[in-house]
């Protein structure tokens, strides 16, 4: 029986393999309007970035945009903190006639990232590109880990380990394989199964309950992937929308398959809530079976499904709100009727909007189907020990 199940799951991956595999300059917002000579300048490559500390605000000017919004430009004295510029001072000239929306406001003592860009005439432009956020992010992550371990004890510690391993898998397996030209859908499904497998077996151990959860997840992921593939094809989405996507053109040795990348993104976005729903359903079946072991498989399925429907309602809304939050700037454009969002037809047919709609609906459909899948599998095959 186990061999037949394994062969069946293996064959279900075949449709994805038919979707063929495809065998820098950093763009930085510039607020500087003049060059800063730097006589003791080391030999620099174009776009050298280093850390620096703000030691003096030389000048500040308040300006007003055409829409009446107030913004501030600054000339700043900096001291290098690392690399060839450690201990050396340089000036960033941010005051000019150009209004840059992403201009960074700094205060004395702030640590920032600075771009040193040498010019042909022997001068160097210095640009503040970002605030240095390493330590605040580190302490926030440390607080999160401590809180999870404090509340969840050993299970919380295992969940943190699973989270770290999930990040490692995405960074060392999923992303490199996609950039090397492997089929993004196959990579995403395989990576998702590996991530969820680690999470489930770390949490529950190697037992029948975990095995049933993995079978449910694999089936749900494959159905979601097939649905995503079909939907992306009929809506003619290219996946090549947004500046972040377009910056991937000609990255690495291979050409990135944007449509495949879109499909992989849909699958990866689904696994978090999919994991939550399936584990909750199998646990619900287990507890109901322990409490009422006299129930038939059909009765157990019906009662457990009612719990899943309640859980599903909140999960679907969570999924929608997550995507809505990510697309908030676009929603503001709808609200003010900014081109090209002047009518409902234009909104729905814009690829950025259609992509988010497809992403939300496909993930929600996959999530919805996973509830009866996992409930039926658990009701049929899960065995519990009942104390008489």
Judge contact between 94 and 127, C-beta under 8 A.
no
Confidence band of 99 (pLDDT split at 50, 70, 90): low
Please give the CATH number for the structural domain made up of 48-134. 2.40.50
Residue 326 has a CB neighbour count (10 Å cut-off) of: 12
pTM (predicted TM-score): 0.66
Helices (H), 327-350: 328-336, 344-349
* Residue 43 pLDDT greater than 60, yes or no: no
CATH dotted code for 147-381: 1.20.1640
Which region holds residue 250: left if phi is over 0, alpha if psi is between -120 and 50, else beta?
A: left
Question: 294 pLDDT exceeds 90?
Answer: no
Domain boundaries, the chain: 48-134, 147-381
- Asked whether residue 18 carries a pLDDT value surpassing 80, the answer given is no
Cβ atoms within 10 Å of 374's Cβ, excluding its own: 28
Other C-beta atoms closer than 10 Å to the C-beta of 133 total: 12
Nearest by Cα to 115 from 102, 130, 100, 133: 130
**What are the tens digits of pLDDT across the range 204-213?**
778 888 899 8
Q: Average pLDDT for residues 356-384, to the nearest whole number?
A: 87
pLDDT of residue 338: 63
pLDDT at position 350 over 60: yes
* Cα(205)–Cα(224) distance, integer angstroms: 26
Let me know if 183 is exposed, middle or buried by CB neighbors in 10 A (0-12, 13-18, 19+).
Answer: buried
pLDDT of 315 reads 72
């Amino acid at each position: 029986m186990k061999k037949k199940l394994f062969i069946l799951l293996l064959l279900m991956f075949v449709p994805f393999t038919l979707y063929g595999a495809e065998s820098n300059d950093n763009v930085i917002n510039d607020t500087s309007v003049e060059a800063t000579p730097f006589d003791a300048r080391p030999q620099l490559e174009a776009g050298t970035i280093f850390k620096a500390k703000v030691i003096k605000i030389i000048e500040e000017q308040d300006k007003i945009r055409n829409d009446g919004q107030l913004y501030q430009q600054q000339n700043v004295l900096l001291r290098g903190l690392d690399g060839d510029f450690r201990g050396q001072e340089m000036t960033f000239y941010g005051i000019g006639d150009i209004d840059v929306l992403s201009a960074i406001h700094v205060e004395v003592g702030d640590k920032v990232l600075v771009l040193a860009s040498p010019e042909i005439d022997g001068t160097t432009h210095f640009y503040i590109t970002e605030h240095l956020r390493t330590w605040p992010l580190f302490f926030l992550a440390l607080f999160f880990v401590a809180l999870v371990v404090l509340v969840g004890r050993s299970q919380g510690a295992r969940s943190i380990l699973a989270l770290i391993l999930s990040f490692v898998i995405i960074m060392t397996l999923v992303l490199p394989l996609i950039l090397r030209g492997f089929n993004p859908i196959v990579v995403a499904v395989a990576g998702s199964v590996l991530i969820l497998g680690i999470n489930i077996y770390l949490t529950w151990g190697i037992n029948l309950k975990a095995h049933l959860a993995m079978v449910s997840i694999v089936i749900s992921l494959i159905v979601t992937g097939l649905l995503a593939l079909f939907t992306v094809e009929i809506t003619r989405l290219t996946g090549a929308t947004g500046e972040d996507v377009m910056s991937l053109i000609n990255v690495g040795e291979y050409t990135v398959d944007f449509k495949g990348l879109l499909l992989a993104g849909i699958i990866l976005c689904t696994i978090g809530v999919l994991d939550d729903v399936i584990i909750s359903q199998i646990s619900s079946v287990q507890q109901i079976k322990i409490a009422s072991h006299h129930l038939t498989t059909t009765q157990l399925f019906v009662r457990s499904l009612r719990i899943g429907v309640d859980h599903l309602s909140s999960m679907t809304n969570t999924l929608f709100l997550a995507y809505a939050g990510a697309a908030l700037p676009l929603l503001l454009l709808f609200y003010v009727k900014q081109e090209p969002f002047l009518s409902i037809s234009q909104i729905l047919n814009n690829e950025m909007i259609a992509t988010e709609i497809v992403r939300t609906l496909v993930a929600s459909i996959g999530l919805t189907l996973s509830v009866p899948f996992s409930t039926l599998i658990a009701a049929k095959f899960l065995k519990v020990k009942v104390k008489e």
